[in-house]
A and B are shown apart, each in its own frame.
Chain A
Amino acid sequence: MGRLSVTLCGIEIDNPIIPASGTFGFGYEFAELYDINCLGTFSFKGTTKDPRFGNETPRIAEAPAGMLNAVGLQNPGVDKVISEELPKLKEVFHKPVMANVSGFSIDDYVTTCEKLDKEPQVGWLEINISCPNVHGGGMSFGTDPNAAAEVIRAVKKVTTKPVIAKLSPNVTDIVSIAKACEEAGADAISLINTLLGMRINLKTRKPLLANTTGGLSGPAVFPVAVRCVWQVSHAVSIPVIGMGGVSSAEDVLEMLMAGATAVEVGAANLVDPYACPKIIEALPGAMDKLGIQNLSEL
């Protein structure tokens, strides 16, 4: 194992850097810029049973040290993801990839996971029960321990791949939801999805986003993410993937010290398309300064 490598649910990855779902498409926009095989893996665009256009525009707004988005899970649907996106992905990425799955009913999640389970390149299924930008489903599963557990239990029945529950910070007690997912059989927890927010245009006095509200991401949410990772990783015995505003090698180390096994990088990819390779390159130097020999020791 190299200095940077970590093991995530039995799969060794070269480094803990994972572009987060919704900020990396299916990889090939970034593959035009750099060899994306330098990544640990990446979580591809949130996939649903049926195709979705998502919300009306504007879907994006500036925020202090971050951004709001209300894309609303635009994706071509699982069948087209398998027939059109994954073959293209395979050409540019040669490692196990993380499939990100969303749904509006238990059946949706199950159908989508059943199909993605048959794809050899899919290494993990990341179950998004925390999208704040869709009505019905999405976050409503992730804000109640019983509903969250029900999704995870149902998905576990149709796949042998590791199942990761992606949690929302928009809850009163994230630990109880993480524990419910662990008890339901989740192999790992990833957190945090975006924080629900909104902005208003002072001139029009109307919300900036067509969806009124959106999810806050970027450095603004980093301390919230570190806190959630700390709380959850101390309460469950399955691995935790930390995300939320990670922008530098130091942020990655902080997440790992909070208890994360690996780290997802989201909004940073959008403002700097080279954010992830820069972080990977900077990690050894940042580790040297802190006397860290191998990331797996953290």
Chain B
Amino acid sequence: MQDIVCTVVENMAIAKDTYHMSLMGSFTESLRPGQFINVSIDGQYLRRPVSIFNVRHNVIEIIYKVVGVGTDILSKKTQGDTLDTLVGLGNGYDLSKSGDHPLLIGGGVGVPPLYLLAKELLKEHKTVSVVLGFNSKDDVFYAERFKDLGCADVTVTTVDGSVGIKGFVTDALPENYTYVYTCGPEPMLKAVYKAMKTSGQFSFEERMGCGFGACMGCSCKTITGYKRICKEGPVLTKEEILWDD
């Protein structure tokens, strides 16, 4: 983990209430897909955890949705503003388990971490299939960027059918794949858990105090004991997940 004062390079709306922000800083640690950053926001006491969408040279890109006061303040940041950021948090996805043909399933603002993951998997010459679910046409972002990366197939679903396949991500899963990587709202993760035919890794979201393992604010129960979403997570394997109900 590094504590870095980052400079906002870009902060633009890309879908309904959804923003793409690029942050420049002197990052020395190599960042893994599925890791997150924890951003200090003026006027707010707690930092806000946001997953990493992309990393290039000394720039980290994040995508976030305005859901409350903190993210609203974040959305008003402009080029040149600075943000105190804890970088390189969480375990991230384990790429070694992917097999030849990993399937990436994202829902809403659970889509971003899958982008860096797809990029890394493609570097390892994997055949990458992607299914991205959104509520409606206005919420959809960056499906074409997954295609541009070189993913074998990219399917979009919307709940209202305004674009792509009508329904949920689980209505559009391909026949063949070797492993699943997923991130999204908990109901989607549960549905994927039931529908998937292989093993896989799930990225979870939780309210956090610190983001680096000190406060026990984001603990969850798993088959293999208590885990902190911020430290031993946010990525858990299918085999260790213990659903609440």
Chain B residues with CB under 8 A of A65? 45
Known contacts A61-B207, A274-B3, A23 near B47 by CB under 8 Å = no
Q: Is A60 a contact partner of B46 (Cβ separation < 8 A)?
A: yes
Neighbour of A67 across the interface among B46, B218, B221, B226, CB < 8 A: B46
Number of interface residues of A (CB under 8 A): 35
Chain A residues with CB under 8 A of B46? 60, 62, 67, 270-271
Please give the distance in Å from A5's CB to the nearest CB on chain B: 26
Complex Cα distance A104/B44, Å?
Answer: 35
Please give the distance in Å from A84's CB to the nearest CB on chain B: 12
Please give the distance in Å from A214's CB to the nearest CB on chain B: 10
Chain B residues with CB under 8 A of A218? 45
Interface centre among B3, B44, B207, B213 (most CB of A within 10 A): B207
Known contacts A33-B1, A270-B209, A273-B210, A60 near B45 by CB under 8 Å = no
| Number of inter-chain CB pairs below 8 Å | 90
Complex Cα distance A24/B212, Å?
Answer: 11
Q: Is A62 a contact partner of B212 (Cβ separation < 8 A)?
A: no
Complex Cα distance A67/B226, Å?
Answer: 23
Complex Cα distance A187/B86, Å?
Answer: 39
Known contacts A32-B1, A62-B46, A67-B46, A74 near B216 by CB under 8 Å = yes
Complex Cα distance A18/B178, Å?
Answer: 51
Main secondary structure of the interface of A (DSSP, over half): loop
Chain B residues with CB under 8 A of A33? 1
Neighbour of B215 across the interface among A56, A58, A62, A270, CB < 8 A: A270
For the complex, is A297 an interface residue (Cβ under 8 Å from B)? Answer: no
Neighbour of B206 across the interface among A57, A71, A272, CB < 8 A: A57
Number of interface residues of B (CB under 8 A): 28
Neighbour of B44 across the interface among A56, A62, A219, CB < 8 A: A62
Q: Is A60 a contact partner of B219 (Cβ separation < 8 A)?
A: no
Known contacts A60-B207, A62-B45, A273-B86, A69 near B217 by CB under 8 Å = yes
Chain B residues with CB under 8 A of A59? 207, 209, 216-219
Complex Cα distance A66/B46, Å?
Answer: 8
Complex Cα distance A61/B206, Å?
Answer: 11
Chain B residues with CB under 8 A of A53? 219, 221, 226
For the complex, is A54 an interface residue (Cβ under 8 Å from B)? Answer: yes
Chain B residues with CB under 8 A of A121? none
Give the interface of B toward A (CB within 8 A): 1, 3, 40, 44-47, 69-70, 86, 206-210, 212-221, 226, 231, 244
Give the interface of A toward B (CB within 8 A): 22-25, 29-30, 32-33, 45, 53-54, 56-67, 69, 71, 74, 218-219, 267, 269-274
Sample (26) of A-B pairs whose CB atoms are under 8 Å apart? A23-B210, A29-B231, A45-B216, A53-B226, A58-B207, A59-B216, A59-B218, A60-B218, A62-B44, A62-B45, A62-B46, A62-B69, A62-B70, A64-B45, A65-B45, A67-B46, A69-B215, A69-B217, A71-B216, A71-B219, A74-B216, A271-B47, A272-B3, A273-B3, A273-B212, A274-B3
